[in-house]
């Protein structure tokens, strides 16, 4: 008679978790095992993982620390788990997420199905019309500083599955190994890079901020996307008092508000005449500020609206400029490399103030002309001739580049 496993985890759950890891691809972890190598012995690997998880003998490996440059300077450290650990984390998420997702609030947008950054921008745009003031806040290293005791208390509120609790605790404690071989021991935090971290961060912030705001400050609408948040207010005084209370609340939760990235904003427009040191803010790649807006009837007014930020524009054009250096490519090959970048950027940023996006996409055509000058001796130092040639190509093959299909073609 077979001895029953102490934890009831099905083989199907492990396989489904693998399919999610396979779809997301990603770099290898500390063991340097690639997804392709893992799949070469897939059945045996999945069986071993299932056996260890269901018997209680699963211990995650250290995560590989990778530094990713931030768009506005500095670096973000991601913790890349091994393939086995990514699968295990997906098994944990499949058990925990259905229990915590129903308690999350409507205005929590990060890392949730059927929620997007664009949804957060849209609701913020509407509220900036209704409320004159807002607090823009950022948390210092949220993923690096989440208190383990408070987090596990929250986890135990929503599941009594012993294996989920055990493996989350073990996952939180594994060290991070940096590229120089240094081992960073962890007594707090849940590093970005693992799928479980997104759920755990949302659960922690649900109690640290979302639920607190809803109970204590129900008259102040808020929006949160991971560690970036906004709180709307009717007056400067109200915002100042609320910001002090917010700092105290986060301190109680072992978190700190970023002093340089947290500020009170005045949503200045035609109807708001006061002066204030801060009259714009960036949120999820968009800059909110006073802009000239044209109505459907052709009238103009100054409204407080979002548009693609300078940082997002620079990041995008840097990628385009980097690709245009590949003069050995054909124009078709260049389009194949550029189109995913252009498509993703345009799809995200043309939702609000599309005219600015179209202006930037016109600059891509200028970049293409410079690529052609480098590509062909015929167009060396002949920018206008290269632009005319691109215009002809766009007429012949208007679907070659994504933005050409949008009607943003080179002009003679």
Question: How confident is the model over 265-295, as pLDDT tens digits?
Answer: 999 998 898 999 999 999 999 999 999 887 7
pLDDT tens digits, 24-38: 998 999 999 999 999
Q: How many helices (H) and strands (E) does the chain have?
A: 16, 11
Structure token digits, residue 347: 């799809």
**What is the pTM (predicted TM-score) of this model?**
0.91
Task: Answer whether residue 3 shows pLDDT above 80.
Answer: no
Q: How confident is the model at residue 106 (pLDDT cuts 50, 70, 90)?
A: very high
Start-to-end Cα distance in the chain: 81
In our burial notation (b when 16+ CB lie closer than 10 A, e otherwise), range 53-82 reads: bbeeebebebbbbbeeeeeeeeeebbbbbb
Task: Answer whether residue 77 shows pLDDT above 90.
Answer: no
The two beta strands, 263-266 and 133-138, are antiparallel
Q: Which helix (H) or strand (E) holds 306?
A: strand 300-308
Q: How confident is the model at residue 1 (pLDDT cuts 50, 70, 90)?
A: very low
As a whole number of angstroms, the longest Cα–Cα distance in the chain is: 83
| 8 A C-beta contact, residue 350 and residue 359 | no
Strand order in the sheet with 228-233: 222-225, 228-233, 133-138, 263-266
Overall average pLDDT of the 95-106 stretch: 97
Count of C-beta atoms within a 10 Å radius of residue 126 = 10
Mean pLDDT, rounded, of the chain: 94
pLDDT tens digits, 122-152: 999 999 999 999 999 999 999 999 999 999 9
- C-alpha distances (whole Å) from 37 to each of 15, 32, 33, 102, 191 are 17, 10, 6, 38, 25
* Sign for the pseudo-dihedral over CA of 177, 179, 182, 188: negative
Overall average pLDDT of the 184-207 stretch: 94
Structure token digits, residue 177: 């190994």
Task: Answer whether residue 75 shows pLDDT above 90.
Answer: no
pLDDT tens digits, 288-335: 999 988 777 888 888 999 999 999 999 999 999 999 999 899 999 999
Task: Answer whether residue 411 shows pLDDT above 90.
Answer: no
pLDDT tens digits, 146-184: 999 999 999 999 999 999 999 999 999 999 999 888 888
Overall average pLDDT of the 54-81 stretch: 88
Overall average pLDDT of the 381-409 stretch: 95
């Amino acid at each position: 008679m077979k001895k029953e496993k102490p934890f009831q985890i099905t083989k199907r759950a492990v396989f489904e978790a693998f399919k999610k890891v396979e779809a997301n691809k990603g770099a290898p972890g500390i063991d340097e095992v690639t997804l392709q190598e893992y799949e070469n012995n897939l059945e045996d690997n999945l069986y071993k993982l299932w056996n260890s998880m269901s018997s209680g003998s699963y211990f995650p490996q250290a995560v590989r620390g990778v530094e990713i440059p931030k768009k506005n300077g500095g670096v973000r450290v991601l913790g890349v788990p091994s393939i086995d650990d990514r699968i295990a984390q997906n098994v944990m998420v499949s058990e925990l997420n259905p229990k915590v997702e129903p308690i999350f609030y409507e205005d929590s947008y990060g890392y949730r199905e059927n929620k997007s950054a664009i949804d957060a921008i849209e609701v913020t745009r509407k509220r900036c019309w209704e409320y004159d003031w807002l607090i823009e806040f950022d948390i210092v290293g949220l993923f690096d500083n989440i208190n383990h005791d408070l987090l596990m208390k929250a986890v135990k509120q929503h599941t009594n599955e012993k294996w989920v609790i055990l493996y989350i605790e073990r996952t939180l404690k594994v060290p991070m190994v940096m590229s120089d071989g240094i081992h960073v021991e962890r007594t707090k935090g849940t590093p970005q890079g693992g799928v479980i971290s997104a759920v755990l961060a949302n659960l922690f912030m649900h109690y640290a901020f979302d639920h607190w705001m809803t109970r204590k400050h129900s008259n102040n609408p808020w929006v949160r996307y991971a560690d970036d948040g906004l709180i709307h207010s009717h007056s400067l005084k109200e915002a100042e008092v609320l910001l002090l209370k917010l700092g105290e609340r986060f301190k109680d939760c072992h978190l700190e508000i970023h002093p340089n990235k947290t500020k009170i904003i005045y949503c200045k427009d035609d109807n708001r005449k006061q002066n204030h040191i801060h009259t714009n803010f960036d949120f999820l790649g968009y800059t909110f500020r006073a802009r000239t807006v044209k109505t459907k009837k052709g009238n103009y007014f100054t409204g407080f609206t979002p548009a693609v930020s300078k940082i997002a524009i620079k990041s995008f054009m840097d990628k385009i400029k980097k690709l245009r250096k590949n003069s050995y490519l054909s124009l078709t090959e260049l389009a194949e490399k550029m189109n995913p970048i252009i498509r993703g950027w345009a799809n995200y940023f043309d939702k609000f103030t599309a005219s600015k996006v179209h202006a930037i996409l016109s600059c891509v055509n200028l970049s293409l002309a410079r690529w052609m000058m480098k590509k062909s001796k015929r167009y060396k130092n002949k920018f206008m001739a290269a632009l005319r040639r691109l215009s002809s190509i766009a007429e012949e093959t208007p679907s070659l580049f994504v933005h050409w299909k949008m009607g943003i073609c080179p002009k003679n």
